[in-house]
Amino acid sequence: MPVDEPAIAEVPRDLSFCAHAITGHDLLEVPDATEDNRFADNPYVRSGLRFYAGAPVVLDGTYSVGTVCVVDMQPRELTDAQRRALRSLARHATVQLELRRYARHAGEIADRMRQLDRMKDSFLATVSHELRTPLSTIRGYLEMLLEGDFDGETSHRFLSVMARNSDRLLRLIDELLLVARLTDEAMELDITELDLADLTHQVTTGCRVLAEHKNVRLGDRTQGPVPARGDPKRLTQALNHLVVNAIKFTGEGGEIIVAATGDGEPEMTITDNGVGISSEDLPHVFDRFYRCASADLMAVQGPGLGLAIVKSIIEAHHGSVHLSSEPGVGTTVRLTLSSR
């Protein structure tokens, strides 16, 4: 390299030889760069480079991602054997890159399969428990009714317990069937004009007994009509899931606030001052069958389907779900519906 030229550390891609080689799918050979108008003013050429040959590295037979090249400070031409060798090196580089990409992809698939396998085992254990517990309760009370002679009040109390556990089983089966349908097909919605104020009132009224049983205050802060478009049944199902969830994860003396607003896009928010969700659990709360650590801490039962169902319902409405939480402070869930 001539002493009066500075060393070249980097050349913009549009000035480099490789930028020309990478755009084609065959070898680029420049016997003498000083006689080629494309490169005569190139910084490498001014520094003494004369010969260049480069073969593109092509992935999937389509995408040129780089080159294997040789250079010389003297003009020259490759022999046919050298050209074949350079092309062969480029193909070898292509194979190595694709093998590395496939290996990484295979590793990601293997990790995902292991995760799914763990989720399956956890799901089977949870569902087995969720089915066995109410069934055992129903069977126990049935056996007592069949074997004993109870007065009407006691029999009615037993039957009430059996009815509650039957309802629990039906809810679980409905959730499992809904998730199965969502896996195979889009959710069918019966879209109509509705008032979110009516919806929040109905859900908070229906959940108030459960909240009072835990000594949790449940309030509806919706002001005036909040017009929206949606499926009343599905939106009620989503909001009910969230309110019941908030009650489960809010301790005695806590508070839950539900509100709907119509400024801009229609929204419903559910805010509690419960146990909150850890940063480790937060990215996974909408995954099917995922149970947070706080669920075990609070002895909350369930297969981990509620939030996944909520997300599916809201996204079917072309809306979005945003959840923010801080352990020991509480959780806020915002359901935003499309204004279309």
Residue whose entry in the numeric block shows the structure tokens 């969830």? 245
Report the pLDDT value the prediction gives residue 193, as an integer from 0 to 100. 94
Report the pLDDT value the prediction gives residue 4, as an integer from 0 to 100. 47
Tell me how far apart the alpha carbons of residues 273 and 278 are, in angstroms, rounded to a whole number: 14
CB 248 within 8 A of CB 299: no
Average pLDDT for runs of 10 along the chain of length 340: 48 73 85 88 86 90 86 93 94 92 90 82 73 86 87 89 86 76 69 94 92 92 91 92 89 93 90 88 77 61 74 90 91 88
CB 190 within 8 A of CB 233: yes
Provide the 8-state DSSP code for 14: G
Report the pLDDT value the prediction gives residue 302, as an integer from 0 to 100. 61
Report the pLDDT value the prediction gives residue 121, as an integer from 0 to 100. 77
Report the pLDDT value the prediction gives residue 3, as an integer from 0 to 100. 39
Tell me how far apart the alpha carbons of residues 61 and 57 are, in angstroms, rounded to a whole number: 9
Domains of the chain plus CATH, in order, are 13-78 (3.30.450.340), 112-184 (1.10.287.130), 192-336 (3.30.565.10)
Report the pLDDT value the prediction gives residue 301, as an integer from 0 to 100. 61
Answer positive or negative: Cα dihedral of 109, 115, 120, 121: positive
Report the pLDDT value the prediction gives residue 295, as an integer from 0 to 100. 63
Report the pLDDT value the prediction gives residue 12, as an integer from 0 to 100. 66
Report the pLDDT value the prediction gives residue 273, as an integer from 0 to 100. 92
Tell me how far apart the alpha carbons of residues 331 and 272 are, in angstroms, rounded to a whole number: 5
CB 321 within 8 A of CB 310: yes
CB 199 within 8 A of CB 260: yes
State the Cα angle at 41 between 39 and 42, rounded to 5°. 60
